Amino acid sequence: MTSLTRRVRALPIRARLSLLVAAAVAFAVAAAAVACWFVVKSVLVSSLDEALKANRMDRNQVSQYLNLRTGLCAHDPVTHEQNPFGSSVQLVDRQGGSCLIIGTEEVPLSDADHAVAEGRSSNALHDATGSDGAQYRVFTYTVPDLSGVAVSAARPLNEVNRSLSNLALVLVIVAGVGVVGAGAAGLWVARTGLRPVDELTEAVEHVARTEDLTVRIPVEDDSDDEIARLSRSFNSMTSSLASSRDLQQQLIADAGHELRTPLTSLRTNIELLTRSEETGRPIPEADRKALLASVKAQMTELAALIGDLQELSRPDTGQHEGRTRILAWHDVVESALRRARLRGPELAINADVHPWYVRSEPAALERAVVNILDNAVKFSPEGGTIEVRLADGVLTVRDHGPGIPADELPHVFDRFWRSPSARALPGSGLGLSIVARTVQQAGGTVGLTRAEGGGTTATIRLPGAPVPPPEGDLRQAAEDR
């Protein structure tokens, strides 16, 4: 059985479906044929029983065959040619004796027949086998006004068996044709129904062979069956993969472009230093210090760019959940403010920070706040002021720099995008992308707007509470918001 199961599972799905349909139809046809055969048999036997019961002999007909002295047959039995009852008839007395009065075949009597003759039963109906090996239907009954004697009529079952044999042959032929037809129909249905699966298979194989993610499977708009849903899922998957690959290629191209400038400058400076050592002509001390400072700045820029790329290479959702916890956002802001004051000592940074607790990844959230403050420091004029406020889950950072043109605002959170006016300043163009990603993972929103009177206002909204709630309560509060 296990070997047969393995062989069936090894068959193609079309063959399995055809085999399943054929087996189901074969079982149904076989059950119907067997039921039909038994029903017809019951009807034919019942008809034969009714015929035996209808041709009962009366007292006068039986009396002419009785011997007044012995109580049994008075003369030889009549043949079937003279038989008006269409059956073999025997007389049975209560002592167990019997004689054939009509017909040529004497059918052995049973205890039920003797019980009728003895008066213990009114009639008996059963099958019996004659001395010639043929099957008979026997009906034994009593005759009114004639005691001590019973009449046993027997009719051969060959007429019923012949009809049943013919019926069985017809049923077998019909069942065979039905099973073969069901198998052919099952194969046709399997081929027709699995044609979309073939198209899907060919599309998957084509994608695996050519890496062409533009392949789409046509799906009718009004179709909502399993194959249609599978095709739509495949189309959606290939679209997502194509979009992801495009973004990945764009990220690689942008990263290569951003890396090329500091690497080229770094190589040039190192070659100058190396050449001065090889030729024995030292570079003036002031130029040497400038070159070393430039090398250090370029290495710092490369390290920052690599760190930003590592941050952006992390999955957008799912895997960061294990690193999130409840944070005091005001403490994160205070820490970021200390770093911002070190980077812009000539600026006045005014802060108004109120308690607020959020659920986020500590390092990522602090880096996002630092990036926002770094932008404000970078674009603030010397001696300018930066206003920072955290209240009710909203962090605003306002600078008094040149501001961002309205046509550039939709692009500020794009990866590697840098304003034309800021391309001469240090930076990789990834800082605000990291901010947007971190805030989105924490369930919040971020935006940049032009401030009244000049400058830019950055706004971050995060769900949470002003007091540290239990873990589950904060999560629920974040979902409610």
- Residue ranges per structural domain of the chain: 50-162, 226-313, 319-480
DSSP-based three-state secondary structure for 353: strand
Are 116 and 124 in contact, with CB atoms under 8 Å apart? yes
Tokens standing for residue 97: 């004796």
CA distance 449 to 405: 10
Longest Cα–Cα distance in the chain: 162
CA atoms within 13 A on the CB side of 444: 25
- Ramachandran quadrant class, 29 (left: phi over 0; alpha: psi -120 to 50; beta: rest): alpha
Distances (CA, A) of 116 to 65, 100, 147: 19, 17, 11
CA distance 442 to 324: 9
CATH number of 50-162: 3.30.450
Residue 124: exposed, middle, or buried by beta-carbon count in 10 A (0-12, 13-18, 19+)? buried
DSSP-based three-state secondary structure for 446: strand
**Residue 356 burial (CB count, 10 A):** 23
Helices 158-193 and 13-54: crossing angle, nearest 10°?
160
Distances (CA, A) of 80 to 65, 133, 153: 16, 19, 13
Query: The sheet that has 146-156: what strands, in order across it?
Result: 98-102, 88-93, 146-156, 135-143, 123-129
- The Cα angle at residue 443 between residues 439 and 445, in degrees rounded to 5: 50
pLDDT per position as a tens digit, 93-116 = 777 777 877 777 778 888 888 888
Are 102 and 87 in contact, with CB atoms under 8 Å apart? yes
Which residues does 31 contact at the CB level (< 8 Å), separation at least 6?
none
Q: Which stretches of the chain score pLDDT less than 50?
A: 1, 4, 8, 68-70, 80-82, 317-320, 423-424, 472-481
Question: What are the backbone dihedrals phi and psi of residue 389, each rounded to the nearest 5 degrees, phi first?
Answer: -140, 135
Which residues does 144 contact at the CB level (< 8 Å), separation at least 6?
58, 59
Alpha-helical runs (H) found in 101-194? 111-117, 158-193
CATH architecture of the domain with residue range 319-480: 2-Layer Sandwich (3.30)
Alpha-helical runs (H) found in 194-328? 195-210, 226-279, 285-313
**DSSP-based helix, strand, coil % in the chain, nearest 5:** 55, 15, 25
* CATH topology classification for 226-313: Helix Hairpins (1.10.287)
Alpha-helical runs (H) found in 83-157? 111-117
- What pTM was estimated for this model as a whole? 0.45
Query: The sheet that has 348-353: what strands, in order across it?
Result: 348-353, 385-391, 394-398, 456-461, 445-450
Residue found under tokens 């000049």 = 454
